[in-house]
Amino acid sequence: MPVGLPAAQDPGFEHLGWVAAITASAVFANVALSNLRDQEALAGRFGTQRTLRLAGASALGGVAAALLGPTAVRPLAALPLAMGAAVLGFRPSERYGALVVDGALLVGSLLALGWPAA
């Protein structure tokens, strides 16, 4: 939201759909892993393994979208990549959720900011 709303109003911003898709993939993976921690919502319905696969597929889809999309959005691949790392090492503990799962959004964002522009 902090990026999407201003970008949607900027007539010169061309890649809002790509940015939204890449960001949504990482956020979905984050929510799925957060649900796994407490076995609620998505995880309660689908089970641990299926939810992990959905989170991983979402992160992978975000990476693919970032790398196959316009050059300007490629740095955003860091966001779903960081979430993918959180999926691969998932542990259902409160500490892992707070530090790694939620921290992956911060780390991915910082990596994207530092990614050299094309």
pLDDT tops 60 at residue 4: no
pLDDT per residue over 38-59, tens digit each? Answer: 667 666 777 888 889 999 999 9
pTM over 0.95: no
pLDDT tops 90 at residue 1: no
Residues 6+ apart with CB under 8 A from 105: 26, 27, 30, 79, 82, 83
Instruction: Count how many residues are written for the chain.
Output: 118
pLDDT per residue over 70-94, tens digit each? Answer: 888 889 999 999 999 999 988 888 8
What is the mean predicted confidence (pLDDT) over 22-51?
83
List alpha helices for the chain, DSSP H. Answer: 4-9, 16-38, 41-46, 48-68, 78-88, 94-96, 102-114
